[in-house]
């Protein structure tokens, strides 16, 4: 796998009414004389993610910045006239994009600041001709990813605690009872569990005298 440092967000610059997927973009990019779809993923209007160019292959989506980046394109981004930039993306698309980018960041160790819009890469890195792409707000997009990261950390903490508590319960449960076997004495059991005969008697009022029988379950 090539080294990945950035994830670059795009739009297909199609109207909201166009149900565009990876196969459509592939066809357009072939028509441009490229080796096929230049993006690594396309997210349809309904939020379905479709794979484009293989991730290990350099994309063709941002001039001068393809080698170490992943390109993701959301279907949409222009008005009904097919030209005016319009943030017309669906909630489903943005949530899918958020989850996809979140996973890719984790897989390739990409920091949130390196999740950039096409227009940001041009403005800050390649200094090419300005573009509106991806049209949606990258500040907002990075914010919802950061929110997801924070939420995941909370879940991990809860799971960690949960498993610790479960382990403790299990240890206590198994340490709490002893099944008497032939030859056991209260003194021997008390010694084995680090307790005293008096404590065993207190915890097991049913024991009379020193009389314990194999098969008795006693609290220790």
Q: Which sequence positions are flagged as catalytic?
A: 10, 39, 118, 131, 133
Burial code of 48-79, b = ≥16 C-beta within 10 A, e = fewer? ebbebbebeeebbbbeebbeebbbbbbbbbbe
Q: Under the criterion CB under 5 A, does residue 118 sit at the interface with Zn ion?
A: yes
Instruction: Please tell me whether residue 133 binds Zn ion under the rule CB under 5 A.
Output: yes
Long-range contacts of the stretch 64-68 (C-beta < 8 A, 24+) = 64/126, 64/128, 65/6, 65/8, 65/121, 65/125, 65/126, 67/2, 68/2, 68/3, 68/4, 68/5, 68/6
Asked if residue 6 binds Zn ion (CB under 5 A), the reply is no
- Applying CB under 5 A, the span of 127-135, 161-169, 178-186, 194-202 interacting with Zn ion comes to 127-135
Closer Cβ to Zn ion, 47 or 85, answer by number: 85
Residue 60 or 197 with smaller CB distance to Zn ion: 60
Residues in 61-100 at the binding interface with Zn ion, rule: CB under 5 A: none
> Which residues form the interface with Zn ion (CB under 5 A)?
10, 118, 133
């Amino acid at each position: 796998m090539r080294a990945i440092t950035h994830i670059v967000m795009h739009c297909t610059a199609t109207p909201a009414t166009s149900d565009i997927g990876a196969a459509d973009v592939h066809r357009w990019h072939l028509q441009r004389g490229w080796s096929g779809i230049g993006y690594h993923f396309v997210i349809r209007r309904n939020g379905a993610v479709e794979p484009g160019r293989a991730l290990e292959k350099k994309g063709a989506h941002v001039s001068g910045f393809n080698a170490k980046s992943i390109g993701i394109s959301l279907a949409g981004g222009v008005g009904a006239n097919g030209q005016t930039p319009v943030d017309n993306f669906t909630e489903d698309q943005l949530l899918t994009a958020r989850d996809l980018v979140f996973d890719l960041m984790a897989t390739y160790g990409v920091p949130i600041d390196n999740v950039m819009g096409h227009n940001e890469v041009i403005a800050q890195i390649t200094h090419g001709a300005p573009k509106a792409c991806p049209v949606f707000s990258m500040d907002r997009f990075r914010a919802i990813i950061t929110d997801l990261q924070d939420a995941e950390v909370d879940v991990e903490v809860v799971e960690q605690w949960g498993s610790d508590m479960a382990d403790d319960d299990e240890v206590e449960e198994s340490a709490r009872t002893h099944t008497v076997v032939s030859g056991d004495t209260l003194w021997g059991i008390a010694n084995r569990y680090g307790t005293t005969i008096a404590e065993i008697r207190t915890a097991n009022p049913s024991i009379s005298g020193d009389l314990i029988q194999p098969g008795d379950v006693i609290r220790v």
